Chains A and B, each alone.
Chain A
Amino acid sequence: MLKVSHLSKTYAAGDKALDDVSFDIPAGQVVGLIGPSGAGKSTLIRCINRLVEPSSGSVSLGGTVITGMSSGELRAVRRRIGMIFQEYALVERLSVMENVLSGRLGYVSFWRSFLRRYPAADVRKAYALLDRVGLLEHARKRADALSGGQRQRVGIARALAQDPELLLIDEPTASLDPKTSRQIMRLLIEICSERHLPAIINIHDVVLARQFTERLIGLQAGRIVFDGSPAELTEAVLTRIYGEEDWTTLDNEAEAA
């Protein structure tokens, strides 16, 4: 489904954020991307929809090669990739409904979007998605009137409004409390299995990652140092990814959860 091969990114300042990263994700698989801050997790998922331009290597989605596309083609492929952000990245002063409908921007003309006259099917879909994430009655509220967990649900609805074939999820729980984090993770996993959607979830919370994903990729200084199931994520592997630390408490935590 998604094929990333030999992807590298060197920023203008000379920092090597990604170094020869390759992996495949089959349809319907949810992958947790773990690693210390600055390991290149954010850069990696942004290279996939080219919000960050990769320096070399290739990315292809369902056979379409994304790297090297013209900007017009890129827009068309971006709408097939839904993205969910750490700080929700909703447009704060727009209504919840407009935020969800903005997921359709790639499909409608400028005038339709400017006048907010979306096709009936799009509007119906947006309401259905708001209902799915449990926010139907909030459709007319301004996005900044919602709580953190609710905002992230709007972010999820916006991504799904795109009818994506892949979800890129950047630290979905970093701004949320532990309970809301688990609710959001559960919702994401449910939605992915309902729609048979593959997803990459950047996540720094190893316990959550183990609990909710079926495959983990560990990134360290821009390189993949681990790729396997949560069960294979041993203390030795954690040390390889994050460095020396007492990991036994983490195991206890995971068992408790």
Chain B
Amino acid sequence: MVNSADDSGLLAGSKSGAAYPATFKRPPMFIQRAWLRWVLWTLALVWFVLAISTIEVNWTRVAEGLDRGWRFVKGFLTPDFISRWKDIYAGLVESLTMTFTSTVTGVLLSVPVGIGAARNVAPRFIYYVCRSIVAVSRSLQEIIIAILFVAMFGFGPFAGYLTLSFATIGFLAKLLAEDIEDIDESQTEAIRATGASWLQLINYAVQPQVMPRLIGLSLYRLDINFRESAVIGIVGAGGIGATLNTAIDRYEFDSAGAILLIIILIVMLAEYSSGFVRKWVQ
């Protein structure tokens, strides 16, 4: 009734072509008032200039740093894999062990936490518990967790393993939960309508939808964990990071260069192979 009236009105009221404007300017989406827009831009610019001007630059130290930087670059260009190879090898094995074990542990723990943190499949109470676990894990940066675990369990890869497992939960459970919240609800509804139990619902309607992404994220986390293992080594959690730290402390930039090259190579390998696997599981 109302619709048909509207339709006919639209057709009858159309103007001749020439009456329509020939230009279109994108309407402002966020801030409607032009003067307010200009004021905000000006304030941002002023703040930026003031902030820059408060940075004190000590030019003599910059010069010294450039010199040291150049020595580092030279060492990097002539990497020495040989003289510290035993240390490098031991560090690498430790890092890779830490990476694999912590990724597996982290993934195993983050699957239940991730399911629990998905609003559409978890009961309210469990949802809040799991969200809190994720929030705690995410709010602490790896280095801070590593410092705590090193203080608790002493230097070495065990502290690193715990750190990376814990950090993996925050990362993976959050992304998994978000993916579960984004699934196609009609498939869940259909499985629910068959009289399936909650576990069957997860297994039949949720798992097939999130599995490719879970595999992709786990592989991505594997290479994040390897890179992080190099970083947390610096605060005493073992691995290639500890070796790198020692090399830099001894001014052995050539060995440090070799270690960095190895890290870059492994990360690139992991990146390439995980991309391949991700495409394959789609």
- Using CB atoms and an 8 Å cutoff, list the residues of chain A in contact with chain B: 49, 51, 75-81, 83, 85, 87, 89-94, 98, 102-107, 110, 113-114, 155, 158, 162, 168, 243-245
Pairs A–B under 8 Å by Cβ, sample size 9: A75-B197, A83-B193, A91-B209, A93-B209, A94-B204, A94-B208, A106-B195, A110-B199, A243-B2
Interface string of B194-206 (1 = CB under 8 A from A): 1111011001110
Closest B residue, CB atoms, query A98 = B204
Question: B211: CB under 8 A from chain A?
Answer: yes
The B185-235 residues at the A interface (CB cut-off 8 A) are 186-187, 189-197, 199-200, 203-205, 208-209, 211-212
A residues less than 8 Å from B49 (CB atoms): none
Question: B1: CB under 8 A from chain A?
Answer: yes
Whether A102 touches B194, Cβ cut-off 8 Å, given contacts A91-B208, A113-B204, is: yes
Whether A162 touches B195, Cβ cut-off 8 Å, given contacts A89-B187, A90-B187, A91-B205, is: yes
- Using CB atoms and an 8 Å cutoff, list the residues of chain B in contact with chain A: 1-4, 184, 186-187, 189-197, 199-200, 203-205, 208-209, 211-212
Dominant SS among interface residues on chain A: loop
- Are A105 and B193 in contact, CB atoms less than 8 angstroms apart? no
Whether A89 touches B196, Cβ cut-off 8 Å, given contacts A102-B204, A114-B203, A245-B4, is: no
- Are B190 and A85 in contact, CB atoms less than 8 angstroms apart? yes
The one of A93, A110, A168 in contact with B197, judged by C-beta atoms closer than 8 angstroms, is A110
- Are B200 and A85 in contact, CB atoms less than 8 angstroms apart? no
- Are A90 and B190 in contact, CB atoms less than 8 angstroms apart? yes
Closest A residue, CB atoms, query B201 = A105
B residues less than 8 Å from A89 (CB atoms): 186-187, 189-190
- Are A91 and B191 in contact, CB atoms less than 8 angstroms apart? yes
- Are A78 and B208 in contact, CB atoms less than 8 angstroms apart? no
- Are A78 and B193 in contact, CB atoms less than 8 angstroms apart? yes
Q: How far is the CB of B7 from chain A (nearest CB, A)?
A: 11
A residues less than 8 Å from B208 (CB atoms): 91-94
The one of A85, A93, A243 in contact with B1, judged by C-beta atoms closer than 8 angstroms, is A243
The one of B1, B204, B212 in contact with A91, judged by C-beta atoms closer than 8 angstroms, is B204
Closest B residue, CB atoms, query A112 = B200
- Are A105 and B189 in contact, CB atoms less than 8 angstroms apart? no
B residues less than 8 Å from A102 (CB atoms): 191, 194, 196, 204
A104 to B204, CA, bound (A): 12
- Are B204 and A49 in contact, CB atoms less than 8 angstroms apart? no
Whether A85 touches B194, Cβ cut-off 8 Å, given contacts A93-B209, A93-B211, is: no
Closest B residue, CB atoms, query A111 = B199
Q: How far is the CB of A105 from chain B (nearest CB, A)?
A: 4
Q: How far is the CB of A213 from chain B (nearest CB, A)?
A: 22
A residues less than 8 Å from B3 (CB atoms): 243
- Are A110 and B193 in contact, CB atoms less than 8 angstroms apart? no
- Are B187 and A76 in contact, CB atoms less than 8 angstroms apart? no
A residues less than 8 Å from B197 (CB atoms): 75, 105, 110
The one of A90, A93, A158 in contact with B194, judged by C-beta atoms closer than 8 angstroms, is A158
Whether A51 touches B189, Cβ cut-off 8 Å, given contacts A110-B200, A244-B4, is: yes
5 further interface pairs, Cβ-Cβ under 8 Å (given A89-B189, A102-B194) = A85-B186, A102-B196, A105-B194, A110-B203, A114-B203
A169 to B91, CA, bound (A): 63
B residues less than 8 Å from A51 (CB atoms): 189, 192-193
Whether A79 touches B195, Cβ cut-off 8 Å, given contacts A89-B189, A91-B187, is: yes
A231 to B205, CA, bound (A): 42
- Are A75 and B195 in contact, CB atoms less than 8 angstroms apart? yes
B residues less than 8 Å from A49 (CB atoms): 193
B residues less than 8 Å from A245 (CB atoms): 1, 4
A residues less than 8 Å from B191 (CB atoms): 91, 102, 105
B residues less than 8 Å from A168 (CB atoms): 193
Q: How far is the CB of A58 from chain B (nearest CB, A)?
A: 20
Closest A residue, CB atoms, query B208 = A93
Q: How far is the CB of B185 from chain A (nearest CB, A)?
A: 9
A157 to B197, CA, bound (A): 20
A residues less than 8 Å from B212 (CB atoms): 93
Whether A83 touches B4, Cβ cut-off 8 Å, given contacts A94-B208, A113-B200, is: no
A87 to B199, CA, bound (A): 24
Q: How far is the CB of B108 from chain A (nearest CB, A)?
A: 17
- Are B192 and A103 in contact, CB atoms less than 8 angstroms apart? no
Q: How far is the CB of A41 from chain B (nearest CB, A)?
A: 16
A residues less than 8 Å from B2 (CB atoms): 243
A89 to B209, CA, bound (A): 12
B residues less than 8 Å from A104 (CB atoms): 194
A75 to B209, CA, bound (A): 23
A26 to B204, CA, bound (A): 33
- Are A79 and B209 in contact, CB atoms less than 8 angstroms apart? no
Q: How far is the CB of A92 from chain B (nearest CB, A)?
A: 7
A residues less than 8 Å from B209 (CB atoms): 91-93
Closest B residue, CB atoms, query A243 = B1
Interface centre among B189, B194, B209 (most CB of A within 10 A): B194
